[in-house]
Amino acid sequence: MTKYILFLLIGHVLGDFYFQTQKISSKKAKYYKWVIIHSLEYLATMLAMAVIVFHVEAIIMATCAGIVHFLIDTAKFIFVKKTKTKRQWNVFCLDQILHVVSIITMCYFFDRFSLQMNTTFVDAAIASCGLDSIVTLKWILSVLLILNPSNIMIQMFLSEFKPIESRGQDIINREKNAGRMVGSLERIIMLILLFNQQYSALGLVLTAKSITRYNKITEDKAFAEYYLLGTLLSVLVVLVIGHLVLI
């Protein structure tokens, strides 16, 4: 059952964080038709994952996952519209928890009623490269999680603590894009070190990152606290993903 969960979680992450553009994400918060458009895109992603498996049960599971995703996003849209909540972080976390729980629950029931994906084709393809299918799928999921999803989650959480900037918007946007890239590379390196149990080397990564912002950290207390919060949250994300998925 673990393999089926990994397949569907990879499809979920791709559909919800990689193939969903910023335009769709912004508009689906305002207009219901964009919730439908996103749900169709998500279903297409899930069906593409099913095609890779070449099995009818995979198509059934992918379709069910797409329908459940649509229902959860519809409930989220109605809730946000009615409550007019501004707590994006809370809504985001609850939304993702519901998606993950629904996928795990669905895999459990499919397994219970012997409706299982035949992953022989994928297993053979991965084995031909000398790799284990479960380990490979875990790595794919982990890398996908620590890139776009982590960037979005961290940015959303830190938005309430961000110091007021007096510089031009273009400079701020360039620094934000560079910060995302640095954060992504930082988490990938830490994940590899964590997997290889090189715990002492994690400090070197954080030190190298801090050196580039040393002057601003020492001169601006608000930025120093914001920077520390972001760094610790980034480390926490790697540790949680590493232990839940890889270890």
CA distances from 190 to 143, 145, 204 (A): 11, 13, 10
Side chain identity, residue 213? R
Give the pLDDT of residue 54.
64
Give the pLDDT of residue 170.
52
Give the pLDDT of residue 169.
53
Angle at 97 between CA 231 and CA 140, to 5 degrees: 65
- pTM for the whole thing? 0.87
Contacts of 242 (CB under 8 A, 6+ apart): 142, 191, 194, 195
* pLDDT tens-digit series, residues 83-93: 877 788 889 99
- What is the full per-residue pLDDT of the chain (247 aa) written as tens digits? 678 889 899 999 999 999 988 888 889 888 999 999 999 999 999 999 888 776 777 888 889 999 999 999 999 999 998 887 778 888 999 999 999 999 999 988 887 776 666 667 777 778 888 888 888 889 999 999 999 999 999 988 888 777 766 555 554 555 567 778 888 888 999 999 888 888 888 888 888 877 877 777 787 888 888 888 888 899 999 999 988 877 6
Q: Which long-range contacts (CB under 8 A, 24 or more apart) does 104-111 make?
A: 104/5, 106/8, 106/61, 106/64, 106/65, 106/68, 107/1, 107/4, 107/5, 107/8, 107/61, 108/1, 110/4, 110/57, 110/61, 111/1, 111/4
Give the pLDDT of residue 114.
66
Give the pLDDT of residue 215.
78
The whole-angstrom separation of Cα 229 and Cα 42 is 33
CA distances from 221 to 161, 218, 226 (A): 12, 7, 9
Angle at 232 between CA 196 and CA 219, to 5 degrees: 130
